[in-house]
């Protein structure tokens, strides 16, 4: 039985509460030496509806991760503002969970130990702490690997632990920065199915940062395409197609969208002056 099928047996879907993200006129400029500055993100305004799944795609260095870090409260906007359920983002918040490409697991803790460490903020008693951590690992199909250390797990399993750890905190907003970029193609497809199953259960508002066009088409309901640095949103697509999706069954309409996005991401041809 797949991890997604296992998840369906764990609990009924949760009712989403909140998670409306408003990004209003946000730009981010970094200062440099001798007064020089660098524009990391041009003025950007987008909304993320509660429980939506949005992909942000663009070339390397265009500001995708910068925007995500601003939503997470790690980077203050230079102009504009960001709110979550009308509350201004002015720093990291437990309402926002972040998953990076690097798993950021403590190597000296087991899988369940990593999840339990995150849950300590709730001051649960020992039995409830154990129960909630084990349930989170069960949701991602790792209940049998709970007592293993990160060094004993594959890359895909480590990322499952990271997902379990973050979602055990029940964030309203889930930010994912190329979380499957280090995985092989087959493992990535498995992780796509797992992520969608977990999202269907918890229904956080997801912003998924990627540079992979196919990944965005398979996962998201909305795709924002960013220009090369300094980045800005140049096109937005709404993907109205049932899941699960596979590249070979996207159909001509979405394949045309795929080709269009690839065209937008293609570097400009150098001027030939010779």
Q: What's the pLDDT score for residue 126?
A: 92
Evaluate if pTM is beyond 0.75.
yes
Q: What's the pLDDT score for residue 226?
A: 94
pLDDT in tens, 206-237: 999 998 999 999 999 999 999 988 889 999 99
Please tell me the distance from the alpha carbon of residue 174 to that of residue 207, in angstroms, as a whole number.
6
CATH number of domain containing 40: 3.40.50.300
Whether 137 maps to a domain, the answer reads no
Number of structural domains the chain divides into: 1
Q: In the predicted model, what is the mean pLDDT of residues 80-84?
A: 97
Number of H helices, E strands in the chain: 8, 10
Q: In the predicted model, what is the mean pLDDT of residues 188-195?
A: 93
Would you place residue 14 in the very low, low, confident or very high pLDDT band (cuts 50, 70, 90)? Answer: very low
Whether 252 maps to a domain, the answer reads yes
Q: Which domain holds residue 207?
A: 3-95+171-264
Pairing verdict, β 222-226 and 205-210 = unpaired
What DSSP string runs through 158-203? HHHHHHHHHHTT--SEEEEESTTTTS-HHHHHHHHHHHHHHHHHH-
Whether 134 maps to a domain, the answer reads no
Would you place residue 18 in the very low, low, confident or very high pLDDT band (cuts 50, 70, 90)? Answer: confident
Please tell me the distance from the alpha carbon of residue 266 to that of residue 159, in angstroms, as a whole number.
30
Whether 160 maps to a domain, the answer reads no
Whether 185 maps to a domain, the answer reads yes
For residue 271, the surrounding DSSP H or E stretch is: none
Is it the case that residue 45 has pLDDT exceeding 70? yes
Whether 274 maps to a domain, the answer reads no
Tokens of 178: 């190329």
């Amino acid at each position: 039985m797949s991890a997604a099928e296992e998840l369906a047996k764990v609990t009924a879907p949760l009712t989403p509460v909140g998670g409306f993200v408003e990004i209003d006129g946000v730009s981010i400029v970094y200062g440099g030496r001798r007064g020089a500055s660098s524009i990391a993100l041009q003025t950007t305004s987008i909304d993320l509806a509660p429980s939506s799944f949005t992909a942000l795609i663009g070339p390397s260095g265009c500001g995708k991760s910068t925007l995500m870090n601003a939503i997470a409260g790690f980077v203050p906007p230079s102009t504009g503002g960001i709110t979550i359920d009308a509350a201004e983002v002015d720093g990291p918040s437990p309402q926002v969970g972040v998953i990076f490409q690097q798993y950021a697991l403590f190597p000296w803790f087991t899988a369940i130990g990593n999840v339990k460490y995150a849950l300590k903020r709730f001051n649960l008693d020992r039995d409830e702490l154990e129960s909630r951590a084990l349930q989170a690992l069960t949701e991602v199909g790792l209940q049998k690997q709970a007592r293993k250390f990160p060094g004993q797990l594959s890359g895909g399993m480590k990322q499952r632990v990271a997902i379990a750890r973050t979602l055990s905190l029940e964030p309203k907003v889930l930010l994912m920065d190329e979380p499957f970029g280090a995985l092989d193609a087959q493992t990535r497809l498995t992780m796509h199915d797992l992520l969608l199953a977990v999202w269907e259960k918890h229904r956080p508002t997801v912003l998924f940062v990627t540079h992979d066009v196919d990944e965005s088409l398979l996962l998201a309901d909305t795709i924002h395409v960013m220009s090369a640095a300094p980045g800005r949103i140049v096109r937005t697509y709404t993907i109205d197609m049932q899941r699960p999706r596979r590249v070979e069954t996207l159909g001509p309409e979405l394949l045309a969208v795929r080709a269009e996005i690839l065209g937008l991401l293609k570097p400009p041809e150098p001027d030939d002056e010779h």
